[in-house]
Amino acid sequence: MSRPRVEFLWWEQCPSWERALEELRAAMSDAGADPGAIELRRVGSERDAERERFPGSPTIRIDGEDPDPPGAGQPTGLLCRVYRRDDGRASPLPDPDKVRAALGRALVS
């Protein structure tokens, strides 16, 4: 089993980050990976957001790839990120199934 690099980027003024991190930690545990290995990075300024190419909070990257990639119209900066479910619904949380699938792929690659 490989050890993927898992990054969690958040802006504290968007409240969904806590639930998203909780779900990411659970996904890591369920996949047999160490939740303590998640790199937590707070994005606190527009400069940080620009440097990170931050499409909003929360954002997860697994080996540099976004498991639920932003749509074409998603702006970058200090904002709450809009995730779109397959049925079109908006959510402030990444799709947990997509996160788990990406994690599974990274662990076996």
Residues that bind another protein (CB under 8 A): 13-16, 75, 79-83, 89-93
Supply the minimum distance, in Å, between the C-beta of residue 88 and another protein: 10
Coil/strand/helix, residue 58: coil
CB 79 to another protein: min, Å = 6
- Rounded distance between C-alpha atoms, residue 76 and residue 99, angstroms: 21
Nearer to another protein, 32 or 73 (CB): 73
Least distance to another protein, CB of residue 74, Å? 9
Other Cβ atoms closer than 10 A to 97:
13
User: Is 31 or 78 the residue whose CB approaches another protein more closely?
Assistant: 78
Closest CB 39 distance from another protein, rounded Å: 23
Q: Which parts of the chain fold into alpha helices (H)? A: 16-30, 46-52, 96-108
> Are 45 and 55 spatial neighbours (Cβ–Cβ below 8 Å)?
no
Contact at 8 Å (CB) between 27 and 37?
no
Q: Which is nearer to another protein, 3 or 77 (CB)?
A: 77
